[in-house]
Structure 1
Amino acid sequence: MKKDVIYIDIEDDITSIIERVKGASAKIVALVPPKRIGVLQSAVNLKLLQKAAAGVGKRVVLITSDQSLAALAAGVKIPVAKNLQSRPEIAPIAALSIDDSDIINGEELPIGDLAKT
């Protein structure tokens, strides 16, 4: 399947990235960010990017090996690939472990005037 590749510059802001995605000719747009790009380290910006792309019938794929960026992308269902030739997939989100000692039973806590009875 044909895809457009957009190389993101370190100075690009989210609006310029969105405009470049909207202007792409292919339905799949691969974004290649530089290392430690600040604009994509925001879940809000990734949501804006995903929504704008979906609004014009495009799918965004991030090309990165940055684990923190992959985790953020997974939160908004943006697929990630290690390189342009590898198959993109949504990174797994690590499950939280809950310790029973972390749970507070509210029935055992005194509250205000009721604590005196």
Structure 2
Amino acid sequence: MGGLGLSLVAIAVAGIKYQLFAAPAEEPISGEFANHPMVEATFMSLLIAIVGLGALAFAVLVNRVRSTGTPGAWGRVTGWLWGVSGALFLLFGAMNFFTHIGLIVNTM
């Protein structure tokens, strides 16, 4: 899990550095920020970074539970990181159903 966390953090850094995840102008909602690619790049990169930090925290959590039998603060940290990122991914994913259909309709 730690390796996955490091990979996700690296993807997040690349997303900021290379302005990944930008939507085309024809896409509803997200396309409003087409002239500002750092807006969506920052949002998606932070979201991916939060999941990656949760994976790193989970690796520490598993090690702690294995050694002491209690989760300690790592259980709460992991839960918050994955809970927040999960809720944001759920909302962003729901929005993407609309925006991707709009992109198809607007480019037909």
TM-score band by shorter chain is under 0.3
Name whichever structure is richer in helix by fraction: 2
TM-score (norm 1): 0.22
Specify which structure has the bigger relative contact order, considering alpha-carbon pairs within 8 angstroms and separated by 6 or more residues.
Answer: 2
Q: Which has the larger radius of gyration?
A: 1
Greater strand content: 1
